[in-house]
Structure 1
Amino acid sequence: MSDSPPIDRYPQLSGPLYRAVQREGVFDDSKTFVDCVPRVDPAVIRERFRARRDDADFDLDAFVREHFDVPSDETETPDLPADRTMHEHVDLLWDHLTRPADADVDRWDTRLPLPRRYVVPGGRFREMYYWDTYFTAEGLAADGRVDLVADLAEDYASLVDRVGHVPNGARRYFRSRSQPPLFYRLLAVLEHERGFAAVEPYLDRLDAEHDYWLDGATDLDAGEAHRRAVNVDGTVLNRYWDDRPEPRPESYREDRELAADFDPDERPKFFRDVRAACESGWDFSSRWLADPDDLRTIRTTDLVPVDLNAFLFGMETHLAEWFREAGEADRASEYDRRAAERREAVEAHCWVSERGTYVDYDWRRDERAERETLACAAPLFTGLASDDRAAAVADRLESAFLQEGGLVTTLADSPEQWDWPNGWAPLQYVAVRGLQRYGHDDLAREVAERWLAANRAQFERTGKMLEKYDVVDPESAAGGGEYELQDGFGWTNGVVSALRRDLDLGE
């Protein structure tokens, strides 16, 4: 946003006070301080901190609370009727997780103001998130809240207009990265409910988002990369990236501790790889690590993720279809070409015939990644896979990934949250819809029923909808990751409602 101050002017994002608060652990969660709002002009705060910080009786915690409004726990699950069913609970939560348009956001608030209503995930996540919002929208539409889906499309479009892409989340400190590009899927939900006329106004924004992911691609030779674009044997594929090679403001202490033993010249790539994993949404997973038990071995930017490229294939096929319907034949043909080239390259570099599955491609080493992950379902979700390869993936999902509570995220048991034994709502939905797309309806139903049973088991135990679930032992709480298990929870609620609709499942 042109009228917002630079990041380094925000006292809760940069400077001596920020570093002191994060290093000394004033808040248990590093994200809390970056979401605080200054009560007085930041220049005054900086001057007072300089004047007082060396005093013998200086209390940093008290100073912060004197000069900042600390975010409340407003996203915690409210008290709801005890005799409700899980779906009744989800329906009641929509209003609790919905926020009004940001009519008056303080200049020094780190939120990116949104013009329409939006839905937050819950827990520590107080803002709209990119890929969360799509899965939430599927559930909103299933529950008859299409007007709110239309508001979310306007919010996405507003961010593209102001930032040039949809950021990871609606915070200024998230502007240097995006998340899995699913704006087009939210528009597909809107088209299903209201027709092409509801989608047409957004085509140029979606085209601009595609440009963001392909920035610099035309100047690349084979084996070169720029930002998110990678030239693989003459075809441009994509990777995750972040434009700032430094600790994440929302996880400053954690990132600095992890990088403490690195040589100074190694730290920028480490920080960028950490941030790129956040752009993937899978933060964190053995998928990105050379050593599955050591986050310091992260190498996200070395990989061409199969799911990212499947999603971009889906964007390209939708743009081709929509531009054709809008009467723009040349633009439609260009996206047809891009989609065909991407499909051929993904099939050539990400398919492992011996195992019957898709994996990521290590473009630096020119080899397929060793680890299998649930990202293999994305080519089915977007229609990239051939029928025979989709059938092979379905067999692999059933034989290796299907557990008592649904599909496990990876086959590697690690300390990270996007690994065995955890399952996540968006990945279940991608797999179920992908299986349905290729006619594997029985397996799709089995996955959905097991996942909903796992959701219900935890709901009956805790009264909450959770961010993630242990699908190997659905009676246990899921673990791993940088923060405590969160409840709410936007995309879990959305997938519950969407699966009930798509498979005609009862309560």
Structure 2
Amino acid sequence: MKLPPANRFILLFSLLCLTPAWSQAVFEKPQSTTLNLASPDEQFGALFEAVQLKAVFPDSKTFADCTPKFPIATILASYESARQRSDFDLKTFVTQNFTLPIKPASGYTSKAGQTAQEHITDLWSVLTRPASTGTKAGTPAGSLIALPKPYVVPGGRFGEIYYWDSYFTMLGLKASGQTALIRNMIDNFAYLIRTFGFIPNGNRTYFLGRSQPPFFSLMVNLLSEVQGRRVLVTYLPELQKEYNFWMDGRDQLTDERPAYRRVVRLEEGVYLNRYYDDKITPRPESYREDVQLAKRTKTPAILYKHIRAGAESGWDFSSRWFRDGKNLKTIHTTDFIPVDLNALLVNLEQTLAEGYRLKGDKVQAKKYTVLAQQRRDAILRYCWNAKSQFFFDYDFVAEKLSTVYSLAAVYPLFVRIATPSQAQAVAVTLEKSFLKPGGLTTTLVRTGEQWDAPNGWAPLQWLSIRGLRNYNQVQLANKVKTNWVNENLRVYKASGKMVEKYDVISTAGAKGGEYPNQDGFGWTNGVLLTLLTEK
């Protein structure tokens, strides 16, 4: 039986722990010998389940991020003993045995008279975490995975680095001239690739089953704009390993077995990718929500697989993934070939091709040039609807295009693989249906999920603006920019804060999702600062 990389690493880790050279062999900086890569639900079992299902904390993520004050075995023994008493109080037990997470930037507001640009610049230090914050030698292991260099977190409930968020944060760091911090963050992602074989959703043990949209090649290209194209050669090994992760199992696929993990065989010679997760259990950070939803289905494990894959997409959650286009319980994420994911992988293949060319490896450069062209052709074939004149996700199980209009359609424009006529058609639909007073709405339907109408998100505004500019749709790009910037500034003026997402239709405050709108906020800061300072 072949184990997925995350599980193989855990097995390898267990063996390496028997040797004194472990910390130097696996990590660049010595880590705690008590580091446990099991997620908190696996560590604490019945205790974790009880805390989550009894809603000891309003947000399921709180307990997943707690740090135990004592060895796990000690806490579990105490729990088994204490729970038998008639006066047992679960919340008191938790606070006695765990340290609660600190919310970065929570409650932080701007100084009197401070501009939005000044506010964002000040926030970088508030949102930056020092190197190796996580498990320390001699202390019990929490879920946070230590990183070797400083990094920026989003803010609000998110006290760890997030993969795709970080690219948009880096845009703002570039505008601020903080090249060293950009490189530190890229080095952290390179470290995660070397350690786990991929970049997890974030640096938490409970994220080790999944990644997020592969923006690492775009990060490296962003750094190369400041430090030169040879940067691609520096990170070439990690770029290659990330590509290997997404393509794992490609050679095993057949007509009878067309999909394995994240790679899908549509026909001989045509391979595209999907979002996936290697686990089929409730997400620890949304445990209660997942369990409650599973009670409404007959196949909980299948639901968990699709829910986790939806989380890997970054669009958690959206009508993009719903069979009926309305309800989360009909989610079937792994059945889709997402247009955004595959556009990003074209960029990764193109970056690999250039990296190998710069290295002098003509054979590999040619290989990845061909693969990028093959993927581009496949995206245009499977994800373009000629009748609707728009890009959609492709349901490879049902062998048909999705009918959900979403801003994922701008990715082919962003990476320059759409034809000029396709780009023009997408622009027409964006202006007619997506453009609202506060920017572009994520989809055209209201489901109560946060990645649907009426919400707008900073990364999608940026990708849309850049994609439109790539095809000389400058007037529309400027409309999107103006509406989005004005809404950001309006909310900032009223509250003194930047937030995670915005209601772009009624501009009354974003809604939906598993948690309240968060302030901070990394990618909002990065995109807004870039738009405010660009020439």
User: Same fold per TM (> 0.5)?
Assistant: yes
Match of 1:384 among 411, 417, 427: 417
Alpha-carbon distance in 2 for matches of 1:49, 1:91: 45
1:430 and 2:463 matched: yes
Structure-1 residue corresponding to 2:402: 369
Alpha-carbon distance in 2 for matches of 1:283, 1:422: 13
Alpha-carbon distance in 2 for matches of 1:19, 1:156: 31
- Which runs of structure 2 are paired with 1:4-153 in the superposition (5 Å)? 4-7=35-38, 10=40, 14-102=44-132, 105-106=135-136, 107-153=140-186
Q: Is the 8 A contact 2:297 2:329 kept in 1?
A: no
- For the structure 1 residues 496 and 148, does the alpha-carbon distance in structure 2 shift closer, same or farther, using more than 3 Å as the test? same
- Matched residue count: 499
Deviations 1:284-323 (A, max 9, x none): 1111112233210001011110000001011111111121
Q: Which moved more, 1:201-210 or 1:321-330?
A: 321-330
What amino acid is the match of 2:516?
E
Alpha-carbon distance in 1 for matches of 2:43, 2:178: 36
1:239 and 2:269 matched: no
Q: Is the 8 A contact 1:12 1:36 kept in 2?
A: no
Structure-2 residue corresponding to 1:224: 258
Q: Which moved more, 1:80-89 or 1:276-285?
A: 80-89
1:253 and 2:283 matched: no
Q: Is the 8 A contact 2:41 2:284 kept in 1?
A: no
1:493 and 2:528 matched: no
What amino acid is the match of 2:85?
D
Secondary structure of 1:187's counterpart equals helix
Q: Is the 8 A contact 2:104 2:127 kept in 1?
A: no
Q: Is the 8 A contact 2:103 2:158 kept in 1?
A: no
Q: Where does the alignment leave 5 or more consecutive residues of structure 1 unmatched?
A: none
What amino acid is the match of 1:34?
A
Deviations 1:381-430 (A, max 9, x none): 11111111111111111111111111110011111010111100000111
Alpha-carbon distance in 2 for matches of 1:103, 1:262: 39
Alpha-carbon distance in 2 for matches of 1:448, 1:273: 34
Deviations 1:198-221 (A, max 9, x none): 332111101100000011011112
Q: Which moved more, 1:318-327 or 1:426-435?
A: 318-327
1:480 and 2:507 matched: no
Q: Where does the alignment leave 5 or more consecutive residues of structure 2 unmatched?
A: 1-8, 18-34
Alpha-carbon distance in 1 for matches of 2:76, 2:61: 20
Structure-1 residue corresponding to 2:192: 159
Structure-2 residue corresponding to 1:405: 438
Alpha-carbon distance in 2 for matches of 1:104, 1:499: 34
Q: Is the 8 A contact 1:405 1:472 kept in 2?
A: yes
- For the structure 1 residues 14 and 227, does the alpha-carbon distance in structure 2 shift closer, same or farther, using more than 3 Å as the test? farther
- For the structure 1 residues 424 and 108, does the alpha-carbon distance in structure 2 shift closer, same or farther, using more than 3 Å as the test? same
Q: Is the 8 A contact 1:7 1:14 kept in 2?
A: no
Q: Which runs of 4+ in 1 moved over 3 A?
A: 10-14
Q: Is the 8 A contact 2:109 2:497 kept in 1?
A: no
- Which runs of structure 2 are paired with 1:392-471 in the superposition (5 Å)? 392-471=425-504
Alpha-carbon distance in 2 for matches of 1:96, 1:6: 28
Q: How far apart are 1:13 and its partner, in Å?
A: 5.0
Q: Is the 8 A contact 1:190 1:199 kept in 2?
A: no
Secondary structure of 1:469's counterpart equals strand
Q: Note the aligned Cα RMSD (angstroms).
A: 1.4
Q: How far apart are 1:12 and its partner, in Å?
A: 7.8
Q: How far apart are 1:261 and its partner, in Å?
A: 3.1
